[in-house]
Chains A and B, each alone.
Chain A
C-alpha cells in the first residue's frame, strides 16, 4: 500500500466497560482504497473498535483521526463521508425499499437518481416496491449495504455484514463489495469471524483478540509469518490458513 497519509489512524486506543477492558492499546493505520478485515471471535473487541472509529464511542485513552480530523467538532463533516452497515439493522417495516433509500438519501441531501442507482447496485430492482418487512434476511442486508453506499463513502464500516446469512446471500454481498473495490477508492473496515470472507475481500487482515491486535498484514504475510508460534513455547510453525493461524496465536478457534 502507498504510504500516504492514512484515512483512518488509531493511536494507542483503550476502552473499558465497567470491569471489562474491551480494547487494550490498539494502533492501526488504514489507507485510501484499502479493504481491511478485523478478524476475531465474539468478544474480541472488533465492534467496540469500529464504534470508536464510527464516533459513537469515545476512547478512554488514545486518539482516533479520520482524514486527519478528530470526531470532536467535526461530527457533521465526518458523517458525510462515512458509510455504515451493522450486523443487524431493522428499518421501518412498512416502508418500501425505494422509500427507505429515499429517506436515507435525504439525510445526505442526495437526489432520487442516486437512490435508483443504489437499488440497481445492490440488485433490489424487483423488490423496490416491497415493504422492508417482507424482504428476506439477505435482501435486508443488501438494502443495509446499499444505504451504506448511498453517499459514495470515503470510509465504509461493515460490522459483520454477512453473519446469519446463507451462503448464497453471503456471496451476493461479497460480489457487491468486490465491485466496489474495483470501481472506487473507498477504504473499508470489515469485522468478521469468517476467515473466508476476510481472505476473499480484504487486502489487509488484522487479527484481534481480547482487545489486542495479535497480527496484521496481507494474507500472504500472515501465513508466511515465521513468528506465528505459540506464545511462550518458543516453537515456530508455518500455518496454511487464517483459522490455523488464529489457533496457533490464541489456542482457540475463531468460532469459539
Chain B
C-alpha cells in the first residue's frame, strides 16, 4: 500500500477518463471526425482545379444611352462573342469565359450599373472590381491591397490587351507539380496533426482539471489515499493515447483520399509527436494549476492556443508574416511541432533533423509541468 506506484488506482483512473471520452459523442466528433472533414474540405478546395467566377461592375458613362456607352469594352465583348443576357431585374450583362486547363477557367460577368450602385455592391463584397472608360482607355477601380482584386486586375487587363488568352486554352510553359509532398494537402495534414495535439491536450487536460476542481471532484479524490501523481498520469496517458488514435484516423483517411505519405523516418515522426504531446501536457498542467472557474479556464486555454493556431503555419506558411516576427513564431511549441512533423512527412527528415526541436519541446513540457505542480491547487 505504501508503494509509490499503485497499479489498481492508476488502471481505474485511466479507465475512468478513457470511458468518459469514448462515451461522449461530441468529443469523438471534434477529435476524429472534424479534423477529417477539415482535411477533406481544404484538401479538395486546394487540390482540385477550381473555376473562378467574378462579377465586374461596368460603369455607364454619363448622358450616353446604355446601348452606345462604353464602346471600347462593348466592342471587345461583342467581338469575342461574349454572351449577353438579362438578369431577373431586366438589366443587361455580358459573360465571357477564359478557358485554361492548367489554371482553371475564369468567367467574368460584366454588369452595367452606375457608380453609386457599384460602390454598394463592392462594399457588400459582391464584386471586387469596377471598370469604366476615360479618353478611350479602360480604367480599373479596386483595392490594390486586396489579393483577389489584384488577380482579377491582372487577368482582366491581360484579357483586354491580349485577347488570344481566350482561345489559348492552355499554358504550355506551366509544368504542374503533382508529386507527393508538393501539394497543399501535403502541407496541411502535418499542420492539422500538430494542431489536433495542441487542442486535444489543452482542452482535454486543462479544462478537465479545472472542471474537476470546480465541481469539487478533485477535493473529493484527494481526501482519499489516491496518489496525486496517478491522477495526472492517468489524464495525460488517456489524452496522449487518444491523440495517437485521432491522428491515426486522420492519417489513414488522407492516405486513402489523397495518397499522403510519410517520406521520412516513422520512428522520428513518433518521437517528435510524443515530444509535442509532452510539451502541451506540461503547458496544460501549468495553465490549469490554480483556477477553479471554468470561465477563466476557457480564457486561459484560448490565450495559449489561439495565437499559435493563427501564427504557427497550420493552414498557410508563417513565412507570409513580416520577417521580424518569424524568429518569434518559430519558437512557439506549435510551430516547432508542426515544422517537425511536416519535415518528416514531406521533406523525408529523420532523427538528425528533429533532435533539437524534440529536445526543446520535451524540455518546455517538463519545465511547465514542474512549475505547474509547484502552484497546483488540489481543492
Residues of A near any B CB (own CB < 8 A)? 54, 56, 76, 79-80, 82, 84, 86, 88-95, 99, 102-104, 106-109, 131, 144, 147, 151
Given A92-B217, A106-B8, decide whether A82 and B223 contact each other with a Cβ distance below 8 A.
yes
B296 lies within 8 A of chain A by Cβ = no
**B223 lies within 8 A of A84 (CB):** yes
B16 touches A95 (CB 8 A): yes
Find out whether the CB atom of A76 lies under 8 angstroms from the CB atom of B2: yes
Q: Which parts of B3-18 form the interface with A (CB within 8 Å)? A: 6, 8-9, 11-13, 15-17
Point out the residues of chain A lying under 8 angstroms from B9, CB to CB: 106-107
Pick from B216, B217, B223 the residue with the most CB of A within 10 Å.
B223
Q: Which A residues touch B49, using CB under 8 A?
A: none
A80 CB contact (under 8 Å) in B6, B215, B220, B225: B225
Q: Are A90 and B8 in contact (CB under 8 A)?
A: no
Using A86-B219, A89-B217, A90-B217 as known contacts, say yes or no to A104 and B19 having CB atoms under 8 A apart. no
Give chain A residues whose Cβ lies under 8 Å from the Cβ of B16: 92, 95, 99, 103
Binary A-proximity of B317-361 (CB < 8 A = 1, otherwise 0) = 000000000000000000000000000000000000000000000
Q: Say yes or no: B20 contacts A93, CB within 8 Å.
A: yes
> Which among B11, B13, B17, B19 has the greatest number of chain A C-beta atoms within 10 A?
B19
- B23:A94 contact, CB within 8 angstroms: yes
Range of interface residues on chain B? 20 to 34
Q: Which residues of A contact B223 (CB under 8 A)?
A: 54, 56, 79, 82, 84
Q: Is the CB of A56 within 8 A of B6?
A: no
Give the contacting residue for A106; candidates B2, B11, B379; CB below 8 A. Answer: B11
Judge whether B224 and A104 touch: CB under 8 Å: yes
> Which residues on the B side are within 8 Å of A79 (C-beta)?
223-225
CA distance A91 to B221 in the complex (A): 10
Whole-angstrom distance between the Cβ of A230 and the nearest chain B Cβ:
38
Q: Is B1 engaged at the interface, CB distance under 8 Å to the other chain?
A: yes
Interface centre among A54, A92, A147, by most B CB within 10 Å? Answer: A92
**8 Å CB contact of B224 from A56, A86, A108:** A108
Candidates A80, A88, A89, A103; contact of B12 at CB < 8 Å: A103
Residues of B within 8 A of A80 (CB): 225
Chain A nearest CB from B207 CB (Å) reads 14
Enumerate chain B interface residues (CB-CB to A < 8 A). 1-2, 6, 8-9, 11-13, 15-17, 19-20, 23-24, 215-217, 219-226, 378-379
A102 touches B12 (CB 8 A): yes
Q: Find out whether the CB atom of B225 lies under 8 angstroms from the CB atom of A76.
A: yes
- Please give, as numbers and ranges, the residues of chain B lying within 8 Å of A147 by CB-CB distance: 220
- 24 A-B pairs, CB-CB below 8 angstroms? A76-B2, A76-B225, A86-B216, A86-B219, A89-B215, A89-B217, A89-B220, A92-B17, A92-B217, A93-B20, A94-B19, A94-B24, A95-B16, A95-B20, A99-B15, A103-B13, A106-B8, A106-B9, A107-B224, A107-B226, A109-B1, A131-B23, A144-B220, A151-B224
A54, B221: Cα distance in complex, Å: 13
- Since A94-B24, A102-B12, A109-B8 are in contact, a sample of 19 more A-B pairs with Cβ atoms closer than 8 Å, ordered by chain A residue number, is A54-B223, A56-B219, A56-B222, A79-B224, A84-B223, A86-B220, A89-B217, A89-B220, A91-B220, A93-B20, A94-B20, A94-B23, A95-B20, A103-B13, A106-B11, A106-B12, A106-B13, A107-B221, A109-B1
Complex interface: chain B residues within 8 A of A106 (CB): 6, 8-9, 11-13
Residues on A with beta carbons closer than 8 Å to the beta carbon of B225:
76, 79-80, 107-108
Contact in complex: B20, A92 (CB < 8 Å): yes
What 10 A-B pairs have minimum CB-CB distances, sorted nearest first? Answer: A90-B215, A106-B12, A107-B224, A94-B23, A107-B226, A106-B8, A84-B223, A79-B225, A89-B220, A103-B12
Please measure, in the bound complex, the distance between the C-alpha atom of A92 and the C-alpha atom of B378, giving whole angstroms: 17
CA distance A91 to B16 in the complex (A): 11
By beta carbon, the residue of chain B nearest A57 is B379
Residue among A86, A89, A103, A144 with the highest chain B CB neighbour number at 10 A? A103
Residues of B within 8 A of A93 (CB): 20
The winner among B217, B221, B224 for most chain A CB atoms within 10 A is: B224
Q: What distance in Å separates the Cβ of B8 from its nearest Cβ neighbour in chain A?
A: 5
Docked complex Cα distance between A113 and B252 (Å):
43
**Distance to closest chain B CB from A49 (angstroms):** 16
Q: How far is the CB of A207 from chain B (nearest CB, A)?
A: 26
- A27–B24 Cα gap in the complex (Å)? 49
CB distance from B196 to the nearest CB of A (A): 22
Q: Which residues of A contact B24 (CB under 8 A)?
A: 94
Contacts of A89 in B (CB 8 A): 215-217, 219-220
Alpha-carbon gap, A151 to B226, bound state (A): 13
Distance in Å: Cβ of B219 to nearest Cβ of chain A: 7
How many Å lie between the Cα of A107 and that of B222 in the bound state? 10
Distance of B264 from chain A, by nearest CB (Å): 39
* Contact between A88 and B220, CB atoms less than 8 A apart: no
**Chain B neighbourhood of A76, CB < 8 A:** 2, 225
